[in-house]
Amino acid sequence: MKRLALALGLPVVLFVVWFVASYGSESFYVPPLRRILGAFADTWTLERLRTDVLPSLGRLAVGYALAATLGIAVGVAIGAYPRLRAAAEPVLEFFRAIPPPVLVPVIMLFAGIGNGMKVIVIAVGCVWPVLLNTVEGIRAVDGVLSDTARAYGITGVARLRHLLLRGASPQIAAGLRQALSIAIILMVISEMFAASNGLGFAIVQFQRSFAIPEMWSGIILLGLLGFTLSMLFRFVERRALGWYNGLREAQRKGS
């Protein structure tokens, strides 16, 4: 109860401050919050959620899943083979250093402006944190544990499943968490460049047609969406990595 109050306290205060401070606002570009909330209810109807929010979420899901699969697969390979890592590391660092939004115009050139382009943009942009964290996670798998597995004949697929992936899972989760926020950003940006539906597209449309309260409401919706997804992620992570948190707790107490 106390924790809930603590977690909700600041958002409520901020909301109230915004509401009160903007109450008498005459500015066209910064309308009062009550008007934005009114527009929110009018704009984001079920129909609208279906035509704009669902396509966005679909592209996000596919792009993110692609990045996760590819990042983990390649990351495991690079992490497990030092030679491969030595060869691949400089290239990876280079690609990681490129700001992902820059990729949108480039990918548009060969992937067009359809769903494919947006999925590719999301996947290409958020594969790097997953990949690099997976590499680190695999490298950090304990040597004694690895020896134990070998001594007991745990090799091949079993080694991958029971040792490498599980051992690297805390770092993989960290990479996936970073990738999630990048994926949301890229989802919006790719839709702002060229699209016929989606959240990013809707927000740009509102702005261009001077529907300012609606534009603001779209931004609030995006914020809520990002928040919900990260909560969902934390929930899943806490369940999957229960052992890790327990282990760390035990080590803290022990030392």
Partner 1 sequence: MLDVRGLRKVYSAGNREVEAIKDLTFTVDAGQLVCLVGPSGCGKTTLLRCIAGLLAPTGGQVLVEGRPVAGPPPGMAVVFQEYGRSLFPWMSVRDNVELPLKQKKVPRDRRRQLVADAIGAVGLAGTEGAYPWQLSGGMQQRVAIARAVAYEPSILLMDEPFAAVDAQTRADLEDLVRALWQRLRMTILFVTHDIDEAVYLGQRVLMLSSSPTVVQAELSVDLPAVRDQLHTRADPRFTALRTRVYEQIQAARRGTAAGLSDRIDERLGVDSE
- Please give the residue ranges that form the binding site for partner 1 (CB under 8 A): 142-145, 147-148, 150-155, 158, 162-163, 166-167, 169, 243-244, 246-247, 250-251
Evaluate whether 206 touches 215 at the Cβ level (below 8 Å): yes
Select 63 or 175, whichever has its Cβ closest to partner 1. 175
Select 102 or 250, whichever has its Cβ closest to partner 1. 250
Buried b (16+ CB within 10 A) or exposed e, 9-21: eeeeeeeeeeeee
Number of neighbouring beta carbons within 10 Å of residue 130: 30
Select 166 or 177, whichever has its Cβ closest to partner 1. 166
CB of 207 to partner 1, least distance (A): 48
CB of 140 to partner 1, least distance (A): 12
Angle between helices 2-21 and 33-43 (to 10 degrees): 110
CB of 3 to partner 1, least distance (A): 25
Select 145 or 224, whichever has its Cβ closest to partner 1. 145
CB of 237 to partner 1, least distance (A): 14
Select 17 or 158, whichever has its Cβ closest to partner 1. 158
CB of 35 to partner 1, least distance (A): 52
What is each CA distance from 254 to 100, 145, 227, 246, in whole angstroms?
Answer: 43, 20, 35, 12
Number of neighbouring beta carbons within 10 Å of residue 197: 17
Give the whole-angstrom CA distance, residue 248 versus residue 216: 43
What is each CA distance from 13 to 23, 25, 30, 190, in whole angstroms?
Answer: 15, 19, 19, 33
